[in-house]
Chains A and B, each alone.
Chain A
Amino acid sequence: MAELNVEALSVEAASVVRQQSAWQRVRRHTSVRIGGIVLALLVLVAVAAPWLGTVDPSLFDPASRDLTPGQTGEITTLDGEQLKHRFLMGSDSFGRDIYSRVLYGTRVSLIVGVATALVALAVGIVFGLVAGYLRRVDGILMRVMDGVMAIPAILIAIALVALWKGSLLTVVIAIAIPEIPRVTRLVRSLVLTIREEPYVEAAVSLGTPTWLIMWRHILPNTMAPLIVQGTFICAAGILTEAILSFLGVGLPPDIPTWGNVMAEGRAQFNEYPHNIFFPGLFLAVTVLAVNILGDGLRDTLDPKMAKRG
């Protein structure tokens, strides 16, 4: 009985786990595909805007004011040349082509959305790591964050843009700042959980310096929920930018953004709803696509947050 070969009979040899990689799961998810395809099309539109039958979005012609979608009119280039142009989405009260303005506006919206998410994540990750790992800073930092969260996001953004000057950079920063506390809280809570993991304690006893533990053991394991959070910040950023522009406190009115187009169309909304309908449609579709993508990423990357199914 004692000579029995224990190793040969052991069960564990059979239990090598075959696992789908995260990337494979993400690619196969329906929501990720739908959101991803719509967003890819929007990026394509933004990049290829000059070649999609548009004119310079700042061009106007008094003769072509308030055209309804599909009407043909004239437009004057900067050289004074008169061009015949078909206004696919109509024109506004200055005689500018809404189709061109909406397509070029896609650039602004996507850039603002992505940049806001990146800025908010970058700053939030640093704050969150510090708060989660250095207990002495935690109290002060988190109370400041609570303070920022107590002020409505749109108010902070308006105040900040008013303080500086409306430009792409200031708008991005103004939108990102109110999002930072949310990211900080998320990262902090993740750090507080992960720092108790035995593999982090093992790293401590292996003499790994604190900054390297954060970089090597903690940060990579917070990534999945952060990517998900990033998509939601991106969607919120696109919306906030549109709101700021619509209120006239965002980018200057000569820059074509969806919010600006809608703001200009507001006065004549009753007679010419197309001024607001088309930019509004693009805005809604973009935000919906980002959110669907985010939902899909959450289901695949972050199973703890995913709905049961």
Chain B
Amino acid sequence: MNADAPILEVQNLSIALPSGGDRTTAVRDVSFTVGRGEIVCLVGESGSGKSVIAQGVMGLLPKQLPVTSGRILLQGEDITHAPLARLRELRATRMSMIFQEPMTALNPVMTCGDQIDEVLREHTKLSPAERREKVLAIIKEVMLPDPERMVASYPHQLSGGQRQRIMIAMALVLDPVLLIADEPTTALDVTTQAQILKLVLDLQKRHGTGVLFITHDFGVVAEIAHRVAVLRLGDLVELGPKDSVLRNPQHDYTKMLMVSVPKLRTEERPVDASAPVVLSVKSLAKTYDDRSWFGKRRTVHAAKDVNFEIRRGQTLGIVGESGSGKSTVARCVVRLVDPTGGSVQLGSDDIATLSPGALRPLRKRVQIVFQDPYRSLNPRRTIGEAMIEGPMNYGMAREPALAKARELLKLVRMDESAMQRFPHQFSGGQRQRICIARALMMEPELLIADEAVSALDVSVQAQVLRLFEEIRSRLHIAMLFITHDLRVASQVCDMLAVMSKGEVVEYGPAHRIFGAPQHAYTKALFAAAPGKDFAFGA
């Protein structure tokens, strides 16, 4: 077989969608190749069909999504309609796949060693001792510490990054020629993501594996890709080497995506130091006691000694990885959870210790927008009902409340007709706009955005970010912006607090921290952010 021949050839592939959807094909007339030792990134927003292509190659498509035309060739063999038995032979030996969520992709009741061993048992005639040797070798190769212990561990005993390494070990143990990675780092923290990306790069270089890497994140593309294929609603709109696609995109859609990727802004933003302080948090603490009848008592510090203040018209960003306590701080400020220490000074009132009754009149002054737009609206109530709920709680009559709701929908660029419709009739971005409008109905002094743009596609994210900026400058309110994404934070924040393990490790003007981070953790966080070498954004 020719060494230069591509490992994977996808030729004019079309995959149908079940009738009743908003389009008839999941993927239309898509062609690309993956060569030996090459990493091809499939990039696209949600609904672009990138995962469907991966499933098509692995032969994992559900019956409702049949391949209607085109061919998929693996090392020259047509596997488009290969029988299940043949696919089973090919999977793991010639092609394998890793998934987004390593916790659900691993079997929780089998040890990691057994799960890797299972692949060997199915596909090789090795003796148990040889298999064990091979398992230990591959675990060493994915840089997991203490292989003996890893083999005996269950998935829940490992961290997210370690689980993903086990998945990679499982996928590569038989040295396949093609590795399909479906958003393998999306569920991971940015520092872990950087390590996993490096691991995938190392391994594929050493083994000469062809990689089909699926992602929505241009930062990741910039780190890892050789060639890039951009998908939009099932069409392949652009295909080319990384540098030319990222630096000199041809198609309008690619250009739009590149513009939408938030860029890391380091220039100074004018800060009005004389503006009144809206929120002042002093030595805020939240501990969780894990009290059980048996066993030791465990105390978890979700937040300790957190101090910051936000002035009118200012945005404070809190950045940190999962478990850093940034959401706990937000929830303490809204009093969705009760802080266990410190004070939360809202204007002249300390709301940290108020009783629920005394808190009620103050609640309207702080509003929050959550991460998941699909769960932030009650599915059984119309948008109009959701919008007027807050003001009516504080005594506003129905008619003026409805009038105000229509006005605010206009502010977030939604049509008035949305009032009579239900949440499921809107897209994620639209729902997030509605949630913002609902929060603004209360005329809050402080608006909290808890990862409010993290679940959105990059083009929608750009729009919502612009909306947040517009609201802040027009309504002159204070904002607390919580995110794990440094680029996003640099777009909207005047001040920045970096959190790690419940503590604020660095706090100051955003441009100063982005320009010259002081704390080791902040530096590590910045170093891990993918795509530093490319200038994204407009």
Contact = CB atoms under 8 A, between A and B. Distances in A.
Interface in B12-62: 20-23, 45-48
B360 A6 contact: no
B375 A9 contact: no
Interface string A180-203: 000000000000000001110111
Given A206-B363, A208-B393, A201 B336 contact: yes
A261 B252 CA distance: 80
B366 interface: yes
Given A2-B259, A16-B427, A199 B459 contact: no
A11 B257 CA distance: 11
B163 to A, nearest CB: 25
Interface in B425-463: 425-430, 435, 438, 442, 457, 459-460, 462-463
B425 A16 contact: yes
Interface string A261-305: 000000000000000000000000000000000000000000000
B380 interface: yes
A206 B390 contact: yes
A207 to B, nearest CB: 4
Contacts of A4: 252, 255-256, 259
A19 B20 CA distance: 9
Given A7-B463, A12-B430, A198-B375, A206 B389 contact: yes
B232 A198 contact: no
Contact of B538 (A1, A10, A216): A1
A216 B426 CA distance: 21
Given A6-B459, A9-B253, A9-B256, A199 B376 contact: yes
B233 interface: yes
B377 interface: yes
Interface string A213-255: 0001100110000000000000000000000000000000000
B334 A205 contact: yes
B372 interface: yes
A11 B360 contact: no
Contacts of A9: 252-253, 256, 459
A10 B460 contact: yes
Contact of B360 (A197, A198, A201, A207): A207
Interface in B352-371: 360, 363-364, 366-368, 370-371
A10 B252 contact: no
Interface string A1-39: 110101101111111111100000000000000000000
A197 B47 contact: no
Contacts of A197: 375
Interface in B332-390: 334, 336, 360, 363-364, 366-368, 370-372, 375-381, 389-390
Interface in B108-134: none
A199 B375 contact: yes
Given A18-B20, A209-B393, A202 B368 contact: yes
A205 B20 contact: no
A11 B45 contact: yes
Contacts of A13: 427
Contacts of B370: 198, 201-202
A199 B394 contact: no
Contacts of B364: 206-207
B260 interface: yes
A204 interface: yes
Nearest to A217: B378
Contacts of A11: 45-48, 232-233, 457, 459-460
Contacts of B390: 206-208
A79 B144 CA distance: 95
Given A199-B378, A207-B394, A12 B259 contact: no
Given A1-B259, A198-B375, A12 B429 contact: yes
Nearest to A199: B378
B424 interface: yes
Nearest to A219: B380
Nearest to B391: A206
Nearest to B459: A10
Given A205-B336, A207-B393, A6 B463 contact: yes
Contacts of A17: 22, 424-425
A121 to B, nearest CB: 19
Given A6-B259, A202-B376, A216-B381, A14 B23 contact: yes
B430 A6 contact: no
A17 B425 CA distance: 6
A220 B381 CA distance: 10
A202 B452 CA distance: 13
A17 B462 CA distance: 23
Interface string B127-146: 00000000000000000000
B538 A2 contact: yes
Contacts of B367: 205-206
A15 to B, nearest CB: 5
A1 B258 CA distance: 10
Contact of B47 (A15, A19, A208, A220): A15
Contacts of B360: 207
A204 B393 contact: no
Contacts of A199: 375-378
Interface in B234-261: 252-253, 255-256, 258-260
A14 B233 contact: yes
A202 B48 CA distance: 31
Contact of B379 (A1, A206, A221): A221
A250 to B, nearest CB: 40
Nearest to B430: A12
A269 B435 CA distance: 69
Nearest to A2: B538
Contact of B424 (A2, A19, A205, A209): A19
Interface string B156-189: 0000000000000000000000000000000000
A205 B393 CA distance: 11
A207 B363 contact: yes
Interface in A21-78: none
Contacts of A203: 378, 389
A15 B427 contact: yes
Contacts of B378: 199, 203, 216-217, 220-221
Nearest to A221: B380
A309 to B, nearest CB: 12
A198 B372 contact: yes
Contacts of B371: 198
Contacts of B259: 1-2, 4, 6
A208 to B, nearest CB: 5
Interface in B36-92: 45-48
B22 A15 contact: yes
Interface in B393-411: 393-394
3 tightest Cβ-Cβ pairs between the two chains A and B: A206-B390, A12-B427, A198-B370
18 contacts: A4-B259, A6-B463, A9-B459, A10-B459, A12-B427, A12-B457, A13-B427, A16-B22, A16-B426, A19-B424, A198-B376, A202-B377, A204-B363, A206-B363, A206-B438, A208-B389, A220-B380, A221-B379
Given A6-B463, A11-B48, 15 more contacts: A1-B255, A6-B259, A6-B260, A10-B429, A11-B232, A11-B233, A12-B430, A16-B426, A19-B424, A198-B370, A202-B435, A203-B378, A205-B367, A206-B367, A220-B380
Interface of B: 20-23, 45-48, 232-233, 252-253, 255-256, 258-260, 334, 336, 360, 363-364, 366-368, 370-372, 375-381, 389-390, 393-394, 424-430, 435, 438, 442, 457, 459-460, 462-463, 538
Interface of A: 1-2, 4, 6-7, 9-19, 197-199, 201-209, 216-217, 220-221
